[in-house]
Chains A and B, each alone.
Chain A
Amino acid sequence: DAEITQSPRHKITETGRQVTLACHQTWNHNNMFWYRQDLGHGLRLIHYSYGVQDTNKGEVSDGYSVSRSNTEDLPLTLESAASSQTSVYFCASSRGISSGNTIYFGEGSWLTVV
């Protein structure tokens, strides 16, 4: 079955370290997204991509970067982890927003920065 997977599911890292969260989808979706979820803030868009070599900044992109070298993967990199980046991170994908297709979320990556 097609799916979207995130790894690692849980990670503890130290302030200042570079961290990469992986996201892999097997639906061949063009659109991929990264959200973070924090109590009181709901889901906030970090970065998104509408296809290979396309990346765009979302609402809370500072301190994060993404790259899209193929259709299946959109890794999220925290260049220098900060305690404010402790959060739950969700990757998502969809065939196309404008055509009203379902967005599928991964199961989440719990990141703690100490």
Chain B
Amino acid sequence: GQQVMQIPQYQHVQEGEDFTTYCNSSTTLSNIQWYKQRPGGHPVFLIQLVKSGEVKKQKRLTFQFGEAKKNSSLHITATQTTDVGTYFCAATSGGGADGLTFGKGTHLIIQP
């Protein structure tokens, strides 16, 4: 089945530093979604990217979808303690026939 590889698994940053997580697939993706899960919580939808080369911003978060639609990234500028959690990418290869496949997530740990 389709797989999405997400790196890094863990990322420690000092508060105020930037953070980036990457998601890669060997197959072309129809779309990619990003979710955030706070410690002890449930995944919450952040955004969906559909178009090749698409870039979307949400305040300090920037999401990119690669030109070949095989990779994506989430970049957080000037991290804050509220950014702590696990960030997941999730993708479908088309038609929704197999639900979403999630990456293993990147755990963001912020040191004040």
**Contact call B42/A42, Cβ cutoff below 8 A:** no
In the assembly, what is the distance between CA of A102 and CA of B102, in Å? 14
**Contact call B42/A106, Cβ cutoff below 8 A:** yes
| Given A96-B96, A103-B33: A43 touches B42 (CB 8 Å cut-off) | no
**Contact call B42/A103, Cβ cutoff below 8 A:** no
Q: Name the B residues within 8 Å of A96 (CB-CB).
A: 96
**Chain B interface category by residue count:** 20 to 34
A108 nearest CB across to chain B (Å):
5
The majority secondary structure among interface residues of chain B is: loop
**Contact call B102/A105, Cβ cutoff below 8 A:** no
Number of A-B residue pairs having CB atoms within 8 Å of each other in the complex: 59
B66 within 8 A of A: no
Number of A residues whose C-beta is below 8 Å from B?
A: 26
How does the 8 Å CB contact mask read for A77-109 relative to B, with 1 for contact and 0 for none? 000000000000010000011101011111110
**Contact call B104/A40, Cβ cutoff below 8 A:** yes
B52 within 8 A of A: no
Q: Name the A residues within 8 Å of B101 (CB-CB).
A: 45, 59
Which residue of the partner chain B has the closest CB to A49?
Answer: B99
In the assembly, what is the distance between CA of A73 and CA of B88, in Å? 26
A58 within 8 A of B: yes
**Contact call B104/A105, Cβ cutoff below 8 A:** no
In the assembly, what is the distance between CA of A109 and CA of B10, in Å? 25
In the assembly, what is the distance between CA of A109 and CA of B87, in Å? 20
**Contact call B99/A105, Cβ cutoff below 8 A:** no
Q: Name the A residues within 8 Å of B105 (CB-CB).
A: 42-43
Identify the interface centre among A40, A45, A103: most chain B CB within 10 Å of its CB. A103
In the assembly, what is the distance between CA of A79 and CA of B71, in Å? 38
**Contact call A97/B104, Cβ cutoff below 8 A:** no
In the assembly, what is the distance between CA of A44 and CA of B50, in Å? 22
Q: Name the A residues within 8 Å of B64 (CB-CB).
A: none
B44 within 8 A of A: yes
- Chain A residues close to B by CB (< 8 Å): 31, 33, 35, 40-45, 48, 50, 56, 58-59, 90, 96-98, 100, 102-108
- Chain B residues close to A by CB (< 8 Å): 1, 6, 30-31, 33, 41-45, 48, 50, 88, 90, 92, 94-96, 98-105
